[in-house]
A and B are shown apart, each in its own frame.
Chain A
Amino acid sequence: MMIRFLSLLGNINRVVMLFVLMGALLPSMRVKAQTPEAEKLFQECKACHNINEPKLIGPSLAGITQRRTTEWLVKFINNSQAMIQAGDPIAVKLFEENNRIPMPSHNFTEAQILDILKYIENGGKVAAEYAVAADTAANAKQAMLDQMAKTQAEREARLSDLERDANRNFRTTFIITLLILIIVLVDLFGTKIIKARFVHSVLIIVSLFIMGEIAYKEASMLGRQQYYQPDQPVWFSHKVHASQNQIDCKYCHSTAEQSKSAGIPGTHVCMNCHNVVKSGKLTGTTEIAKVLDSWQTGKPIEWIKVHNLPDHVFFSHAQHVNAGKIDCIECHGDLKTMDVVMQVKDLSMGWCLDCHRKTEVQFASNSFYNTYEKLHEQMKSGAIKKVTEDMVGGDNCMKCHY
């Protein structure tokens, strides 16, 4: 209960932090040409566009403001697909010319877009009037890193709170109870201060019960790694990739729908984007350089596995993601909010079975379940309202252990 409450608290904290961060990142509404902010925003464009030649995935942008009207540009940058579908001739032509690769939508404000366009007009240089502001930009970056470190520290503090709750309090209780037990026993056989014998009995029974309960709880936690959050060889952020860049989970974990294993992406998957994106907003070039290094040396990155199941459990991602239509979040937590991945659920057998007993299978939509004639009849007659996993063998031992 305590843990649940605290984690709720943690969530609130997280929401507050998000607001703080957004406040820091929120662009000012003044249209200021070629601010260092524009330079920062241009990082997103840089993934596919150069200002000057050579052409990357998308066309080079030099002279763009002469070629197109500002109004068209704002519309296009905000939602290029809509324009193509609407049949805008220039948009369609561009789409065809660039191998039909759609330009992702960017959630820029109009002011930000104008800012970026000015930045491009100036050939990607920050105007002289902002030369001093460059320092400010550096400061801003530093501030951001500080912010990151702070978030991290807070997260760690929060975590150790959780851990403290999980361990220390119990440990203290255990020691206190043990002391009480010893005192009672000593009094019972030695000092004999308390005359009423029933006090001894009650105390012994209660303390043994508490200690047993704690021992049981602790023992059942053995081998589990809830809240496990190891440092990875590359500071890779799911938050940046999955949330800010909106990359689908299955882009990298591509075998989740076909195989037992969801698959850790090989360096070549990273290189699809990082071929071009050579520096990140948060980490600069240091972390991406590790990926490039792996690519050049041919040594795969040795990630630390976070979610571990015992060897005698056969878990299939395909079964859950493809056949069961379960969202990744249900077991892995909201990775979109995590910079460093943490195991959120305890991955215990009880947790698995709870879900198997609650979760409905795709009974009507998947023809596989046509085999279960009796269940279909019962559904039809209204005897049962839904078919959960345990009704079709989800709680069999050999569903997972073989």
Chain B
Amino acid sequence: MEKKYYKSLEELSLVIDQESGQEILGDKKSILALQTEAKSGNGPTRRDFLKIFGFTVASAAVASSCEQPVRKAIPYLIQPEEMVPGKASYYASTFYDGVDYCSILVKVRDGRPIKIEGNTLSTVSRGGTSARTQASVLNLYDNSRHTKPAIKGEETSWEQMDQQLVPLLEAINQKGGKIVILSSSIISPSTKAAISLFASHYTNTEHVQYDVISASGMLQANETAFGKAFIPAYHFERAKLIVSFDADFLGSWLSPVEFTKQYTANRKLHEGKKTMSRHLQYEGGMSLTGSNADKRLMLKPSEQKATIATLYNELVQLTTGTQNTTNASLDMAPLAAELLEAKGESLVVCGSNDTETQLLVVAINALLGNYGNTIDTGVHLKVRQGIDSNMASLVDEMNAGAVDGIILYDVNPVYDYPDREKFISGLQKVGLKIAMPVLNEETSVYADYICPDHHYLEAWNDAEVKTGHYSLAQPAIRPIFSTRAAQESLLAWCGSKMDFRKFIQEYWEKNLFPKAGFAGTFTAFWNEKLHDGVYNSGEKELEVVAYKAPELGAIVQNIKGNEAEAVDLDLYFNISVGTGKYANNPWLQELPDPITKACWDNYACVSQKLADQYGLADESLITINKLGPFPVLIQPGQEANTVSIALGYGREKAGLASEGVGVNAYPLVTLSNGNRSFELSGVTIEKVSGEYKIARTQTHHSMEGREIIRETNLGAYLEDPKSGNEVREEILAHMKTLYPKKDYDGLHWGMAIDLNSCTGCNACIVACSAENNVPVVGKEQVLKAREMHWIRIDRYYTGDPENPELVRQPIMCQHCDNAPCENVCPVAATTHSNEGINQMAYNRCIGTRYCNNNCPYKVRRFNFFDYTNSDAFTGNLHDTANMETDLRKLVLNPDVVTRAKGVIEKCSFCIQRIQEKKLDAKMENRMLADGEVQPACAQSCPADAIIFGNLNDSNSKVSKMFADERNYHVLEELHVMPSVGYLTKVKNTNA
């Protein structure tokens, strides 16, 4: 069977047209048409303009470079001993933003954090990072940060602030008034201790935790089943069969980095491994996780509960013989049988926030004996603690005037609470409103007292993400602005002037050190843990939680009927801006969605069928329940009657980069059975006139239908490891040349990418941007196909356009040993190094773009403008990321130049890292070790999909992967001899 791959629906129809023999205006013809159109215009042409421009620039350059500026070298007064100018230091720290957790190393160059790297000592994130973790360093240098404490809009000092606030708080305390601390889920034990200290001083204090990505339903289901509201630890690596009902565990569900590490560990097939897990996904819109599944089934959100109940009933029937009536549209009997076969080695997860649905999932996992195997109730995952009804009752109380003071810490409900008006009116009734924000946001506008918190890279903190899994956060830079740690503010208001580092130390000394059994002083213990960044105490939850089978009868019987024709709405969180907290982060805004490849917007994903039904086309506008308008994106794999919209867009007060980006969909979130529901049934769609351009990186890197991605299934692979890759033998047989093969002595760098591991999480793209100063170009430029990412993840659909399979492939410069780009450069700006790297000398490049034209992989990027303010001439600047400000520039990596307008750039295999590690080895008088050099993409990858190393060393990991039967090179038939290899994708399907 021959598979057809297509990048979009237009492309699919093109393929169909071609097959039917219809004449279509191909690429070449349309380009010619465009050229004639351009030529027919009157007035000065582009060439004339270039001539004049070139002359002006050349003469200005000659004139301006005669005088050399006086440069100063200003040393430290007292150079800190541990600081070596020009050399990076790494500090272990913790990233936790109220949603995601990651143990990290912060790379600090000359006193400023410039890059986040994963901490390999962590047993939770195990060296992996996410796109948001990587991008979080840019938030430190956000121009919209709060710079000073402010009272009613007037900037003030911290002394003034405390002097004014303490009497007000005391007054509330004296009259017995209620103070509420509203925060996101807090996983820091010391912060909790600080809050309880505050609560013991101001006796009527309530701490409410509010999670934007809520797991309230799950917490309550577990409370029913286990007697305690908690989230257990999951072990995807132990599961042979994973069934997920709309749980995007690789993207946004609970702890994606940890789960990606676990999941991909069981998806690799090299190094002699012959088994892999099987993954089934039931979902309405296509999620990152769903796109990686072996089998993806479309399921309307409103049918989810019935389907899970049916599965439960089938399981019960198979195990006990009791029969229940069900009415799900999907036949769940085969799945039930399959699950029972993998008893104790399966895992069923569900992304719903409905308590009853989650209770069913608990019952299914209990029935399958997964507790104690793939689910560990002795270790709790603490990233979600908020119960939605608590927040709802707080809003009611506020409206009733029962709250006298509120402290808002790391929350932004004015933006992300569904009933925004009600929250605002409640907030206005609170006498004392204190906000402790880091970045500018909507809620602090309503607060009278702004006490800005540190960015996490400036602050001390600790975390217990899972029971017994502690980690520490330490500042990597002195606070840039006049900010104060939120915990220090709380402590200051209850009379303690203690700094928070000391507070954490005392907490650890009192609570963790005695149990640690550490041979040595507390200082030694502290220093060791601070250095490592993590500490595993090996503790388990003390309370024994035994599963009590809940009463499911009512739930199982009382399933809502299937309204097939009603349109469902599925609200989701994407991997870039997430909850909206990162809306002002241009790196994330420009990150293409792993499914739709769209950036700088949210949009309504609809199926072709729904589009036909409502007369919609791609990029037309609709409103949903009168909210909008949202642009339409016709998405293959979308359930016919489900519309998916990403949350986290439409920020009003976040800053420049987020201005006018998307529409806020939070008002569509509803409260159902006490929990916020991100699914909505029976929405009304109305078409609005007009059109809206969505910037997509999708169609302009098409590989024109050649054999790019090779895949097979597990059965075929076990029979013949070459399966799916048979064509390579034929290609290699034709590989004949008159020229001698280029011989590399010593080092020959190569990269191997396991397509089976890559989930498409995009962490590599952000890591690459951060490491290599890759500019952000903005929506308008992306629309012109001018995005600058050095690495992109191509995705292709295959099979049934209604529910296609999806394959992905990270593509960066392939560093061809016989590189077509090198031959065509008229100025030898791109040449080959004797280590096999395709080099690019920016200062030699004159911008002919011949190389770009001649590259079969289309990985070269041209600077159409000056995006990073690196050009000496004004007027060239196109600055979406606000790079012209001094604050923003601090994020630039000083080891890589910023490219000026008019030059080509591309992946360099992180040459600066190669040179650095080579030098380290020379200085230590030793050979380079395998795996020592890691490009930013490989290092950030939570799936370990990218392996980099020396191809001349036959023992290196990359050489072994190159020798694998699954290995192939993209477009190898062109005899360009790439240095990047791919391992075929193997799906665990029976087909």
Contact = CB atoms under 8 A, between A and B. Distances in A.
Interface of A: 219, 222-223, 225, 228, 230, 255, 257-261, 263-269, 294-295, 298-305, 308, 310-312, 314, 316, 318-319, 322-323, 362, 365-375, 392-393, 396-399, 401-402
B85 A323 contact: no
26 contacts: A230-B70, A255-B85, A255-B87, A258-B87, A263-B75, A263-B85, A266-B79, A267-B75, A267-B78, A268-B77, A268-B78, A303-B74, A314-B912, A316-B919, A319-B922, A367-B926, A368-B925, A373-B745, A374-B743, A375-B745, A396-B834, A396-B837, A397-B844, A398-B833, A398-B911, A399-B915
Given A255-B86, A366-B922, A368-B925, A264 B73 contact: yes
B874 interface: no
Contact of B84 (A255, A304, A308, A322): A255
A300 B746 contact: no
Nearest to B72: A302
Q: Which one of B915, B921, B926 has the highest number of Cβ atoms from chain A below 10 Å of its Cβ?
A: B915
A398 B908 contact: yes
Contacts of A366: 922, 925
Given A374-B745, A399-B915, A401-B842, A303 B87 contact: no
Given A375-B746, A402-B911, A368 B921 contact: yes
A396 B835 contact: yes
B44 to A, nearest CB: 30
A261 to B, nearest CB: 4
Nearest to B830: A397
A323 B923 contact: yes
Given A261-B85, A303-B75, 4 more contacts: A300-B77, A367-B926, A368-B926, A402-B915
Contacts of A269: 79
Given A222-B66, A258-B84, A319-B919, A312 B843 contact: yes
Contact of B839 (A222, A265, A375, A397): A397
Interface residues of B, number: 51
Given A398-B908, A399-B915, A402-B912, A368 B928 contact: yes
B922 A301 contact: no
A402 B923 CA distance: 21
A223 B842 contact: no
Contacts of B75: 263-267, 300-301, 303
Interface string B51-86: 000000000001001101011111111110000111
A402 B896 contact: yes
A398 B837 contact: yes
A397 B833 contact: yes
Contact of A259 (B72, B77, B87, B918): B87
B301 to A, nearest CB: 49
B77 A223 contact: no
B922 A259 contact: no
B884 interface: no
B617 to A, nearest CB: 45
A269 B75 CA distance: 11
B85 A299 contact: no
Contacts of A300: 74-77
A369 B919 CA distance: 11
B73 A401 contact: no
Contacts of B400: none
B84 A368 contact: no
A323 B833 contact: no
Nearest to A222: B65
Contacts of B927: 367-368, 370-371
Interface in B825-839: 831, 833-835, 837, 839
Nearest to B913: A402
Contacts of A301: 74-75
B897 interface: yes
Given A259-B85, A308-B71, A401-B841, A298 B745 contact: no
Contacts of B835: 393, 396
A268 B76 CA distance: 9
Contacts of B746: 369, 371-375, 392
B688 interface: no
B895 interface: yes
Contacts of A370: 927
B887 interface: no
A319 B62 CA distance: 33
Q: Which one of A225, A295, A308, A314 has the highest number of Cβ atoms from chain B below 10 Å of its Cβ?
A: A314
A393 B71 contact: no
A396 B65 CA distance: 27
Nearest to A322: B923
Contacts of A367: 925-927
A331 to B, nearest CB: 16
A266 to B, nearest CB: 4
B866 to A, nearest CB: 14
Nearest to B85: A261
B747 interface: yes
A316 B894 CA distance: 13
B956 to A, nearest CB: 11
A371 B65 contact: no
A305 B747 contact: no
A370 B919 CA distance: 14
Nearest to B110: A261
B830 to A, nearest CB: 8
A222 B62 contact: yes
A310 B69 CA distance: 12
A384 B185 CA distance: 67
Contacts of A263: 75, 79, 84-86
Contacts of B908: 398, 402
Interface in B842-884: 842-844
Interface string B888-901: 00000001110000
B397 to A, nearest CB: 53
B73 A299 contact: no
- Interface pairs A-B: 7 shortest CB-CB: A261-B86, A260-B86, A323-B922, A372-B746, A259-B86, A264-B75, A396-B833
Contacts of A365: 925
B924 to A, nearest CB: 8
A397 B897 CA distance: 14
B897 A312 contact: yes
Contacts of B66: 222
Contacts of B745: 372-375
Q: Which one of A259, A267, A316, A396 has the highest number of Cβ atoms from chain B below 10 Å of its Cβ?
A: A396
A14 B651 CA distance: 71
Contacts of B77: 266-268, 294-295, 298-300
A365 B897 CA distance: 33
Contact of B70 (A264, A304, A397): A304
Contacts of A402: 895-897, 908, 911-912, 915
Contacts of B71: 304-305, 308
Contacts of B915: 314, 316, 398-399, 402
Contacts of B896: 402
B618 to A, nearest CB: 40
A375 B78 CA distance: 46
Nearest to A233: B72
Contacts of A375: 745-746
